[in-house]
Amino acid sequence: MDVRKKKKKVLLMGKSGSGKSSMRSIIFSNYVAKDVRRLGATIDVEHSHVKFMGNLTLNLWDCGGQDAFMETYLASQRANIFSDVAVLIYVFDIESREVERDLDTYNSIIEALHEFSPGAYVFCLIHKLDLIQNEHRLRIYEERSLLIRSRSEHFKIDTFGSSIWDQSLYKAWAGIVHKLIPNLYVIERFLQAFAKKIDAEEIILFERSTFLTVTSVSSDVGSMNPIYDRHERLSNIMKAFKHCAARNTHTTPASAGFLVMQTKTPQFNVFLGRFTDNTYIFVVVPPGEVAYNCAVLNTLLAREGFSKDAIVGHYEGFPLPTVDSSTGKGPNGSTHPLSQSDTSPDEE
């Protein structure tokens, strides 16, 4: 199954001091926002491998942004840097005083990328948005994004406004990661069917170590939720709690985490649990103790089917048949509530 182990090369570029390493540290290395000021300048290229969702490895090239480095990337190192790129993430500093010059550099990078990897995705992050007053943020972001698009030549790019101080960073990276996961439509189809079976308002799949949203599905009712940025806010909330747990149990943030979280309120019920080795599933169902307990039980049953097939590697057709049969144990979601005792032991 090694053929399926996907290694994707991700270039992280942008002017020196624009915040590339800071965001990488927060997303992938469990830094908290106020600690990134300790980071020094990146010299040359820092390589890191990030395992994401088991069979997807991101080969992250954090490219130092000082002019001298930029020149070598474009000249002597050109083929080395720009070949086989799956994704280019280009970071713009919103506070930059030389917008025109930044765009010129960006344009030459885009040229080089087109030459060696014409099929790459390009994401532009307009970073440090927190430095702009709230009421001007959207306008300035849109102006800037238009400028960038006009210089992107052959590529159809995505832009995100971001800041390490709020959830926008999670939104941007979740968008990037979403594009990279192979067979995502299969997972989504499974979740859709599953959500319908257990009457969930919303199901979100989070990656385990980064807590980025992998994908999500909502029911007709669930999609009417007026809070649009709830996914990235959840990432932010859970990651903050993970840091707290790590601090207070004397472990590193990387090894801290939760096995299960359940919350029942009169408005909604929520279940968060380990799903596969690399994901958490977050299920929101309407109030109702019996229906909720069934949903929890079914999620745990679905987990077995899901991970078994993921290990065997039948990625193509995997989730649907198995899961249908396991949820089928409780027709109409009416698994006997007494069997809820099955849900307490944690295999982990």
**Residue ranges in contact with another protein by CB under 8 A:** 199, 201, 220-221, 224-227, 230, 233-234, 237-238, 240-241, 244-245, 247-249, 251, 255-270, 284-292, 344-346
Say if CB 12 and CB 63 are below 8 A apart: yes
Q: How far is the CB of 122 from another protein (least distance, A)?
A: 31
Taken in order 125, 126, 128, 130, is the CA torsion positive or negative?
negative
Task: Compute the least distance from the CB of residue 209 to another protein, in Å.
Answer: 12
SS3 334: coil
Residue number with CB closer to another protein (152 or 327): 327
Handedness of CA 159, 162, 166, 169 (dihedral sign): positive
What minimum distance in Å lies between the beta carbon of 270 and another protein? 6
Q: What is the DSSP letter of 168?
A: H
- Residue 6's SS3 state is strand
CB of 319 to another protein, least distance (A): 25
Distance CA(81)–CA(103), nearest Å, equals 20
Question: Strands 56-63 and 6-14: what pairing?
Answer: parallel
Nearer to another protein, 1 or 221 (CB): 221
- Written as one string, the DSSP assignment of 36-73 is GGG--PPPSEEEEEEEETTTEEEEEEEE--SHHHHHHH
CB atoms within 10 A of CB 10: 23
Give the Cα separation of 257 and 147 in Å (integer): 41
Question: Which own/partner pairs from 32-37 qualify as long-range (CB within 8 Å, at least 24 positions apart)?
Answer: 32/243, 33/164, 33/165, 36/164
**CB nearer another protein, residue 79 or residue 237:** 237
Please state the closest distance from residue 19 (CB atom) to another protein, in A. Answer: 19
The 3-class SS string of 9-20 reads EEEEEECCCCCH
Cα torsion 23, 29, 34, 38 to 10°: value is -90
Q: Which is nearer to another protein, 100 or 220 (CB)?
A: 220
Smallest gap from residue 129 Cβ to another protein (A): 18
Q: Per residue in 226-261, is it b (16+ CB within 10 Å) or e — as a string?
A: eeeebbbebbbebbeebeeebeeeeeebeebbeeee
Is the distance from CB of 42 to CB of 21 less than 8 angstroms? yes
Q: Which is nearer to another protein, 119 or 345 (CB)?
A: 345
As measured in angstroms, the least distance from the Cβ of 263 to another protein is 4
| Minimum separation from the CB atom of position 284 to another protein (A) | 6
CB of 50 to another protein, least distance (A): 20
